[in-house]
Amino acid sequence: MAGLSLNACGITFWATVFLVASTGATPVDSSSSTSRCKVYPGDAAWPSDDAWAKLNKATDNRLLIKPEPQASVCYNGPLYDAAKCAELTTDWGRSYTHFDDPIEMMSPVAQGMTCLPPDVFNSHNCTRGGFPMYVINATEPKHVQLGVDFARETGVRLIIKNTGHDFLGKSGGKDSLSIWTHHFKSIDYIEKFEDEKLGYSGPAFKAGVGVQAFEIYKAAHDKGRAVVGGEGETVGIFGGYIQGGGHSPLSSLYGTGADQVLSFDVVTADGKFVVANSTSNPDLFWAMRGGGGSTFGVATAVTVKAHPDMPTTASRFGFTSEKIGNETFWAGVRTYVDYFIPNADAGTYAYFLLLPNITTGIFSFKMSPFFAPNKTLEQTTTLLQPWFTRLNDLGITFDPNITHFDSYYDAWKSSFPLEVVEKINATTGSRMFPRANFETEAKRDELLNNLRKSSENNRVQVHFNIKAVDPSNADNAVNPAWRPNILFAQQAVRWPVNATSAEILKIRQDFQTGDMQRWRDSSPGAGSYLAEADRLEPNFGQAFFGTNYPRLLELKTKWDPEDVFFVTTGVGSERWKVESVDGLPNENGKLCRVTT
Ligand SMILES: Cc1cc2nc3c(=O)[nH]c(=O)nc-3n(C[C@H](O)[C@H](O)[C@H](O)COP(=O)(O)OP(=O)(O)OC[C@H]3O[C@@H](n4cnc5c(N)ncnc54)[C@H](O)[C@@H]3O)c2cc1C
Ligand SMILES: *[C@@H]1O[C@H](CO)[C@@H](O)[C@H](O)[C@H]1NC(C)=O
Ligand SMILES: *[C@@H]1O[C@H](CO)[C@@H](O)[C@H](O)[C@H]1NC(C)=O
Ligand SMILES: *[C@@H]1O[C@H](CO)[C@@H](O)[C@H](O)[C@H]1NC(C)=O
Ligand SMILES: *[C@@H]1O[C@H](CO)[C@@H](O)[C@H](O)[C@H]1NC(C)=O
Ligand SMILES: *[C@@H]1O[C@H](CO)[C@@H](O)[C@H](O)[C@H]1NC(C)=O
Ligand SMILES: *[C@@H]1O[C@H](CO)[C@@H](O)[C@H](O)[C@H]1NC(C)=O
Ligand SMILES: *[C@@H]1O[C@H](CO)[C@@H](O)[C@H](O)[C@H]1NC(C)=O
Ligand SMILES: *[C@@H]1O[C@H](CO)[C@@H](O)[C@H](O)[C@H]1NC(C)=O
Ligand SMILES: *[C@@H]1O[C@H](CO)[C@@H](O)[C@H](O)[C@H]1NC(C)=O
């Protein structure tokens, strides 16, 4: 293993770099263990240009130095270009604009809103904000090892960016060194993968961690297979998604993304390149299946189960309160709640929206889509008919289009639109409502009133009626709240574009003590999903990791005793805080220890 031999001399290599680089004063590595904050520009311990140049050389010239935010073409300075700015403004919403870039994140709010196209949001200036200072455009484990060693030995903050989809901005960090994993793009099909301990014998894919949903779904389809992944076209299935759990249009059949993992190739905090599977580093294997990205190591490849491809039926429809009025509208939504348990138990997935319009006072329900993998048109129609009859009885017109596809891939391609970048004036909170919330008439009434209240408070709601039970009962770190889940619910709070930092903070805090607390109160002991949640979620250890938290914290200390890896709301993150310049929860500030 090239990685091990490299690591054996890694420390010596970096010691040499810093002996050459520093003026001979303090040994550089003292910073990481004792200083209050990570090392930043202006600190005596900040690596010299020469040290960065050595890192660049060692990584085959793959170090990007101060990559510019894309919107710098919109602001006064050497890169100003009105035509390019206009083009960027047009393309801003497309996820491709962001994941193909070494630093951009899908969540501008978490970046700190310091450089956006003025027509999207006028940041009046373009500064780096929560973006990293240096980026290793990694394509080999060796590049990752060098980045991890450099960060550990210098005390510079380390981040990992794959696609940048994380809702909370966990792929950003001011003035950090970033390892960009986007170009680990290999996909290998394994006819027969056997692991007695995991009880799996069957086909598998080994994929580089930069592989995205549209790529693995196509590769799987070509082999007559289907792989568990997210609905979004460009989500990085083998990075943050899979380590954080990951829900899927196939979850009601096969469980979470993390439940599919057979093996990881990982660079750990000590710079070693290891395998984490059921027999090699099994505790790391356990933790990385659900314990969250950028916490225990950097994966470079992941092996997952490959399931048979299957015909799939999908359906889209909707209705609004415009002609029928509020009471009938909510009665219609209420009839649906009666079918959440049977529909999830039947192996289906439903993605639906509840949209308020404060100007018109009109509410909308949008099913987009109801997704029935492995079901014929007839089976799907039979499943939906009892609910449709009740909607008809209420006089609700909803115009269903039920379409059958020969494969999961074709159904997925036709059913889910390309995802867009997140809003500049919104934040999403989430809750996993368990089966207990749907088992009685009274509980279903309570749930409906809960959703209605959020709509009346002008929250945009996105819901997933799914379960996430792994038929093989994998023992892993997936949030236990996924197991009884029936409704994974998201609601977004919005604020005026011109609101001050203090106003935004107040609105966000009120959202947590108001609408989010009401959701928590009605689902005691349940949780939230770490990749689609609010940075202000209180008691994040319980919410994102549940009863696994104490063990995960022990494993964090074992595998990363120096906190080389940090992400906000990650395991062990309570020891650190991003001290943002505007006091808002974002990445635009130094990462410092929480002093007691
Ligand atoms: C439009 C949209 C649709 C989505 N749809 C779904 C969905 O259907 N189901 C679902 O479950 N989620 C969904 N998500 C959430 C998504 O799973 C998370 O945003 C997830 O974090 C994305 O992982 P990523 O690697 O692509 O993103 P990134 O933001 O690049 O990374 C996420 C986190 O993982 C870390 N990380 C990334 N790669 C590695 C690695 N190789 N090793 C260690 N750490 C790593 C990063 O540091 C970061 O902390 C969606 C998000 C968006 C914006
Ligand atoms: C823009 O930001 C730069 C870098 O922080 C700063 O030097 C400059 O004064 C700022 N310009 C304005 C107009 O705020
Ligand atoms: C990153 O590396 C890939 C693969 O070598 C290359 O195609 C791409 O252009 C690089 N990106 C940047 C911004 O350097
Ligand atoms: C786990 O990884 C080790 C080390 O690479 C390997 O020897 C072993 O065969 C793997 N186990 C399985 C079930 O693949
Ligand atoms: C609300 O409805 C008005 C009038 O139809 C429309 O112009 C506006 O875009 C809607 N707002 C939202 C947030 O959908
Ligand atoms: C429906 O409820 C909304 C929000 O509570 C309100 O603004 C609207 O006027 C109501 N519509 C009708 C027709 O009563
Ligand atoms: C899919 O349907 C086939 C045929 O009805 C069945 O044999 C198979 O078990 C189903 N798969 C799953 C995962 O339910
Ligand atoms: C129904 O949906 C399918 C698949 O999305 C689409 O091709 C078809 O045009 C739709 N039919 C109607 C009548 O809208
Ligand atoms: C959020 O910003 C958009 C523009 O991007 C604006 O249309 C909308 O009204 C804003 N929302 C609120 C609640 O002000
Ligand atoms: C934001 O704009 C609104 C309407 O234009 C105005 O009433 C409000 O005072 C502004 N708020 C701030 C903080 O500028």
Condensed to tens digits (0 to 9), the pLDDT of residues 120-161 reads: 999 999 999 999 999 999 999 999 999 999 999 999 999 999
Task: Dump pLDDT digits (tens) for 272-313.
Answer: 999 999 999 999 999 999 999 999 999 999 999 999 999 999
Name the CATH code of domain 187-308 (choices 2.130.10.10, 3.40.190.10, 3.30.465.10, 1.10.287.1080). 3.30.465.10
Ligand 2 atom 4 nearest Cα: 127
- Running DSSP on this structure, what letter comes out for residue 470? -
* pLDDT confidence of residue 14: 57
Local structure of 132: helix, strand or coil: coil
- pLDDT above 90 (res 524): yes
Reported residue count of the chain is 596
Using the atom order of ligand 5, give the atom closest to the CA of residue 357.
1
Model confidence at 20: pLDDT above 90: no
Among 104, 233, 532, 556, the mutation site with the greatest number of ligand 1 atoms within 8 A of its Cβ is 532
Question: Contacts from 91-98 at CB under 8 Å and sequence distance 24+?
Answer: 92/116, 92/117, 92/120, 92/421, 93/420, 93/421, 94/418, 94/420, 94/421, 95/163, 95/165, 95/232, 95/233, 95/234, 95/418, 95/419, 95/420, 95/421, 96/234, 97/70, 97/421, 98/163, 98/164, 98/421
Residue nearest to atom 10 of ligand 3 (CA): 137
**32-37: average pLDDT:** 74
pLDDT tens digits, residue range 496-519? 999 999 999 999 999 999 999 999
pLDDT of res. 187: 98
- 337-370 pLDDT, tens digit per residue, is 999 999 999 999 999 999 999 999 999 999 999 9
Structure token digits, residue 480: 């236990």
Q: What is residue 28's predicted lDDT score, i.e. its pLDDT?
A: 45
**Which residue ranges make up each domain of the chain?**
187-308, 312-541, 548-593
* pLDDT of 470 over the 60 cut: yes
89 pocket-lining for ligand 2 (C-beta < 6 Å): no
Q: Is the pTM of this model over 0.85?
A: yes
Residue 147, classed as helix, strand or coil, is helix
Is the per-residue pLDDT at 11 higher than 70?
no
Mean residue pLDDT across the chain:
94
Predicted confidence (pLDDT) per residue in 370-405, tens digit: 999 999 999 999 999 999 999 999 999 999 999 999
Residue 23 pLDDT: 36
201 C-beta closer than 6 A to ligand 4:
no
Position in ligand 8 atom list of the atom nearest CA 415: 5
Task: Please classify residue 449 by burial: count the beta carbons closer than 10 Å to its beta carbon, then call 0-12 exposed, 13-18 middle and 19+ buried.
Answer: middle
Closest CA to 319 of 372, 412, 388, 417: 388
Q: Which residues of 67-81 are buried (b: 16+ CB within 10 A; e: fewer)?
A: bbbbbbbbbeeebee
Pocket of ligand 6 (CB under 6 A): 325-326, 361, 456
- 312-541 domain in CATH 3.40.462.20? yes
Tokens of 251: 């979850």
pLDDT at site 2: 34
Is it the case that residue 30 has pLDDT exceeding 50?
Answer: no
- CA gap 169, 179 in Å, rounded: 15
- Residues 274 and 281 sit within 8 Å (Cβ to Cβ): yes
